[in-house]
Structure 1
Amino acid sequence: MTEELRTDAMHDPPSSKGQEVQRTFNKITDYYDRMNRLMTLGRHAAWCRDVAVSTKVPSGGSMLDVATGTGVIALAALEKYPNSTIHAVDFSERMLTEAASKPGASAIMWQHADANDLPFGDESFDAVTHGYLLRNVDDVERVLEEQYRVLKPGGRVVILETCPPRGLLRYPVTLGVRVLIPLLGQMVARDRESYAYLQKSTLGFMTPQEVVAILRRVGFASIAWKKKFFGTHMIISAQKAVAFGESR
């Protein structure tokens, strides 16, 4: 099935963590882009473009951006692949409203959806992307299994995530994150509590090696990753295997 809505899916209510994350992101929508620029010293948009380029969406192909937020990755993909079909989903309706108001956004199909239960048929997309999704879900493996399901054979998933710093810079960078993110949240958004949560999820998430291990369990291959920004961010790409006898 290609880009077909699933009508047989069971939609479970969000977990308590899911409800907390949903409330947080609805709350910080107005400041989200500004805070991402500040927290990454202006590098966030470039990383999103890197994610979009890494999908290698074929001409006339399709891409799904999960947890699209304000649509930065989806819009970057549209700019890179203007003749592709871009779907973007999020379970924060305020984020979707903000994303859909941006220049060029009318060419993207925005939809409210839960990453645990994507409303698309099997093998619907040539690529799947997401930024800062996995650190906010209860079951990373389930979410990646859903993405594997909706990918066509040979399709790619590209992930932008935070990761705990390691090596010589571990302690100074950790201290900086613990102080800077809540402080910026207070100064810019007047919301220290929400950004204290984001600080904890940033430092408490998995290493690249742990994410790679889950991707392999799910069935992905050709996995590669690189770190960004003093080791606090990572971009991981992986591919769904092509069945024997098929061509990509």
Structure 2
Amino acid sequence: MTNDRTPHGKGSEVHGIFEKIAGYYDRMNFVMTLGRHEQWCREVAARVAPAAGGRLLDLATGTGVIALEAARRYPAATVTGVDFSQEMLSRAKAKPGADAVRWRQADAACLPFENESFDGITEGYLLRNVDDLDGVLREQYRVLKPGGRIVILETCPPSGLLKPVVEWGVRVFVPLLGRVLARDRSSYTYLESSMLAFTSPHHIARILSGLGFRDIGWSKKFFGTNVILWATKPR
């Protein structure tokens, strides 16, 4: 993945999938989470709490759910929504309130922003789709101002006593919903496999700590299949 807007390696595959699913992305998120997705996005926006009049960056903005909620919640802030999928950005720009957000196509692995540019960073389902998890988080640390907070919405591999049941449900129902609702089993088969194969919140927290973030925490959602993580860059 490079900053020339032409993803390579895993990024090329993921880019193609998200270009393809943009038209039904919101509908699938609603169904797969039983309507909880927007609630989680509101929590992400609430937790980031940028400085009054500050700058907020929403990565992997997709159809703009988190960015639009942040713009509504913090009208004095400058909100920038970034995604590498032009189709996703087109959907975001067509939504009510989209003029309150600055939309930009860019690669999260090589952000086109100066050091310490933003007072807060949010993201939804970015990390499991990148080649270099450490590098992407390092970029976020670079562009975040001291005292700023990062808030991450991500999938979470199931664990505990319910792990076999939850894994079975993900393997069966995610591709099935893709086929029935979106006529696209192949894309949602990838999403199912990436959900189950992704790392744990503990591992992400260790990376964040190693980069210098502090006050790290997380809250699991929806039978442990999703998680919201947060951390602060020290002053």
Same-fold call, TM cutoff 0.5: yes
Deviations 1:69-126 (A, max 9, x none): 0000001111111111000110000000000100000110000000000011000000
Counterpart in the other structure of 2:53: 60
Asked if residue 38 in structure 1 is aligned to residue 31 in structure 2, the reply is yes
User: CA shift at 1:14, angstroms?
Assistant: 2.2
Counterpart in the other structure of 2:135: 142
Contact 2:174 2:188 in 1 (8 A): yes
Contact 1:55 1:128 in 2 (8 A): yes
Counterpart in the other structure of 2:91: 98
Amino acid aligned to 2:199: M
- Where does 1:77-116 land on structure 2 (aligned, <5 Å)? 77-116=70-109
SS in 1 for 2:162: helix
Contact 1:90 1:114 in 2 (8 A): yes
Deviations 1:173-199 (A, max 9, x none): 110000000000000110000000000
Counterpart in the other structure of 2:172: 179
Amino acid aligned to 1:200: S
Amino acid aligned to 2:44: V
Corresponding residue to 1:219 among 212, 216, 221:
212
Change in CA separation of 1:165 and 1:10 when aligned onto 2, cut-off 3 Å: closer
Asked if residue 22 in structure 1 is aligned to residue 15 in structure 2, the reply is yes
User: CA shift at 1:15, angstroms?
Assistant: 2.4
Change in CA separation of 1:46 and 1:12 when aligned onto 2, cut-off 3 Å: closer
1:186 & 1:69 partners in 2: Cα distance?
A: 21
Q: How many residues align?
A: 234
1:145 & 1:157 partners in 2: Cα distance?
A: 12
Counterpart in the other structure of 1:195: 188
User: CA shift at 1:221, angstroms?
Assistant: 0.8
Contact 1:164 1:206 in 2 (8 A): yes
Contact 1:11 1:117 in 2 (8 A): no
User: CA shift at 1:24, angstroms?
Assistant: 0.1
Which segments of 5 or more consecutive residues in structure 2 lack a partner in the other structure?
none
1:99 & 1:165 partners in 2: Cα distance?
A: 30
SS in 2 for 1:241: coil
1:11 & 1:202 partners in 2: Cα distance?
A: 28
1:219 & 1:19 partners in 2: Cα distance?
A: 30
Change in CA separation of 1:28 and 1:220 when aligned onto 2, cut-off 3 Å: same
Deviations 1:197-227 (A, max 9, x none): 0000111101110100111111111101110
SS in 1 for 2:76: coil
Contact 2:3 2:107 in 1 (8 A): no
Corresponding residue to 1:50 among 43, 56, 59:
43
TM-score (norm 1): 0.92
Deviations 1:26-54 (A, max 9, x none): 00001100000000000000000000000
CA root-mean-square deviation? 1.2
Deviations 1:115-143 (A, max 9, x none): 00001100000000100000000000000
TM-score (norm 2): 0.97
Counterpart in the other structure of 1:5: none
SS in 1 for 2:120: strand
